Structure 1
C-alpha cells in the first residue's frame, strides 16, 4: 500500500514537472545537464519514477532526507541527507554523484560506512543519470549554478 501511495505521489509530481517544463517553452535547456548531456522533460519524469521506487524510502518522497540528517545514528552512520536545496547534494560534481550512486559512498570516500547501497546491477547508467536529472531539476537556479561550476571544475562531469 505504501509503495502504491509513493508511486501515485511520484506520478503526480512527475506530471507537474513535465507540465512546468513544457510551459517554460522548451524540451531542453542547456542550463540543466547531467554528465555534460542536456536534460529534457522525459528524462526528468523517468528519473522521478526511478527515484520514487529506489531512493524515496530513505531520501524522502519530496527529496527531504531523513530527520536529523546531520546527526549520527546510534550505529555511527549518518542518516540519508536531503537532495533538495536544503541538503548538500548540489555541492558535489555530477561524476561524484554518479559514482556514489552506482558504486557506493566508499568509492569516493574509502572506508566510509553508509547504509546507502550501491546501485550497480540494480539501476542502469541511464536510470542513475535520470535520477540525477530529476534531483537537479528541483534545485533553485543559485544551487544549479553552483553545482554546474563544481562539475565544470571537476573536468566537466562527462
Structure 2
C-alpha cells in the first residue's frame, strides 16, 4: 500500500508536467507551476499525520488558545462533578448516622420510605387513625412520624434498632407490636437514610425535644 505523502507528491509531479507540456499557454501569459503547488501543500498541511495526534490532535490545534482553555475547563468541571456524585453515593452507602440536613441522604431516604414505609405510615407520614387510643394488649395502628407522635423520645439509635429488628423485641412479651423488621430488606445505610428523611420533616422544636431526651437518658 502506497504511503499517502508519496501519492500526493506523485500527483503534484504529474500536475506540474501537464502544466509544462500539455496545457497550451495563453498568449502573453506564462503559467507558473508554483500556483498549483499550493493546492497540494494545503492538502498535506490538513491531512492527519502520526506525529500530530490524528483527528483529535487536528481538532485541538484548530481550537486555538482560548478554545483549548474552555475545553480544559469543561473537562475539569465534568471530572469534579463526577467525583462529587461518586463521593455522595459512597457516603450514603456507608452512612453510620442520620443527617437530616444532608440533601442526598434525605433524598435516598425519601425513595426508600415510599417503597417500604408509606403503606403503613402514610406518604405524608401521618400514620393511621386511632394510633393514640388505648391498646393495653398491643395492635396499635402505625404512629405518625412527622413529629406529632412522641417518637422523639427515641434516640436515632433506638429508631434504627426498631426499624431493623422490628418493634416486638423492644415491647413486653404480652404486648403485640406489629412493627415489622426490615433487617432482611434494608442495608444499615438505607435505614439511616430513612431516619434522615423522617427527621427532615420534623419541626425544630421536635429536634430540640429529642436532644433533651437523649441528654436525660445519658445522664
**TM superposition score normalised by structure 1:** 0.68
Are the equivalent residues in 2 in contact too, given 1:47–1:131 (CA < 8 A)?
yes
Whole-angstrom CA distance in 1 between matches of 2:104 and 2:123: 19
Q: What is residue 104 of structure 2 aligned with on the other side?
A: 42
Q: What is residue 98 of structure 1 aligned with on the other side?
A: 160
- RMSD (Å), alpha carbons: 2.5
Q: What is residue 55 of structure 1 aligned with on the other side?
A: 117
Q: What is residue 65 of structure 1 aligned with on the other side?
A: 127
Whole-angstrom CA distance in 1 between matches of 2:138 and 2:169: 19
Cα deviation, residue 110, structure 1: 4.1
Whole-angstrom CA distance in 1 between matches of 2:124 and 2:115: 13
Gap regions ≥5 residues in structure 2: 1-94
Gap regions ≥5 residues in structure 1: 1-33
Cα deviation, residue 86, structure 1: 1.2
Aligned length: 122
> Going by fraction, where is helix more abundant, 1 or 2?
2
Greater relative contact order structure (CA < 8 Å, 6+ sep): 1
Deviations 1:11-57 (A, max 9, x none): xxxxxxxxxxxxxxxxxxxxxxx975644100001101100100010
- Taking the TM superposition and a 5 Å limit, the aligned residue runs for 1:114-133 are 114-133=177-196
Whole-angstrom CA distance in 2 between matches of 1:66 and 1:36: 28
> Going by fraction, where is strand more abundant, 1 or 2?
1
Are the equivalent residues in 1 in contact too, given 2:166–2:181 (CA < 8 A)?
yes
Q: What is residue 82 of structure 1 aligned with on the other side?
A: 144
**TM superposition score normalised by structure 2:** 0.50
